[in-house]
């Protein structure tokens, strides 16, 4: 069997992959700018950073989503940016934590989030009444 014909990729692909591995990433080494313990907060931070033009990535996010008990053991989700963007990223993270990036109000043309429900009948039962009804139904079923 000829080894060059058994390869599923061109013979020069191995040489190309060795040269790519030696190259530095386009923006330099990644630096952890903060750690968070909530995956939703980590995704929001990443989105805020990317909206500011800062490339960001999350470390250990998938591991923590798979097993949340590892959150503390891993030290949370790492929000990482290239070293050249670290100072700008820290300023954006501080603004996020202060609430400066929060949306305070809805636009004028926005519809309410949930319509109010009108009750057709005036019959209402207190939570205590519901408990009594549940006990009576269970007693009837058992006996």
Q: Which pTM value belongs to this model? A: 0.56
Question: Contacts by 42-50 with C-beta closer than 8 Å and gap 24+?
Answer: 42/77, 42/79, 44/96, 45/79, 45/93, 45/96, 46/79, 48/92, 48/96, 48/101, 49/79, 49/81, 49/89, 49/92, 49/93
Has residue 119 got a pLDDT over 60?
no
Q: What is the distance between the alpha carbons of residues 29 and 31, in angstroms, rounded to a whole number? A: 7
Has residue 140 got a pLDDT over 60?
yes
What confidence category does residue 10 fall into, taking pLDDT thresholds of 50, 70 and 90? very low
In DSSP terms, 36 is beta-bridged to 77
Range with the largest mean pLDDT of 12-26, 69-83, 98-112, 115-129: 69-83
Give the E-state strand segments of the chain in sequence order.
30-36, 57-59, 77-82
Q: What is the distance between the alpha carbons of residues 38 and 96, in angstroms, rounded to a whole number? A: 14
- Going along the chain from its start, the domains and CATH numbers come out as 25-98 (3.30.70)
Return the C-alpha torsion angle 119, 123, 128, 130, nearest 10. Answer: -80
Question: pLDDT of 64-105, one tens digit each?
Answer: 888 888 888 899 999 999 999 999 999 999 999 998 887 777
Question: pLDDT of 36-47, one tens digit each?
Answer: 999 999 999 999
pLDDT: which is higher, 120 or 143: 143
């Amino acid at each position: 069997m000829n080894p060059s014909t058994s390869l599923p990729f061109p013979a020069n692909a191995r040489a190309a992959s060795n040269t790519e591995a030696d190259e530095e990433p386009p923006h330099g080494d990644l630096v952890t700018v903060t750690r968070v313990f909530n995956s939703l907060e980590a995704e929001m931070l990443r989105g805020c950073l990317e909206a500011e033009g800062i490339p960001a990535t999350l470390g250990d996010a998938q591991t923590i989503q798979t097993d949340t008990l590892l959150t503390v053991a891993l030290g949370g989700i790492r929000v990482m940016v290239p070293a050249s963007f670290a100072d700008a990223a820290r300023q954006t993270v501080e603004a996020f934590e202060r609430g400066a990036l929060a949306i305070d109000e809805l636009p004028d043309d926005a519809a309410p989030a949930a319509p109010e429900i009108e009750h057709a009948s005036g019959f209402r039962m207190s939570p205590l009444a519901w408990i009594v009804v549940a006990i009576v139904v269970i007693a009837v079923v058992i006996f």
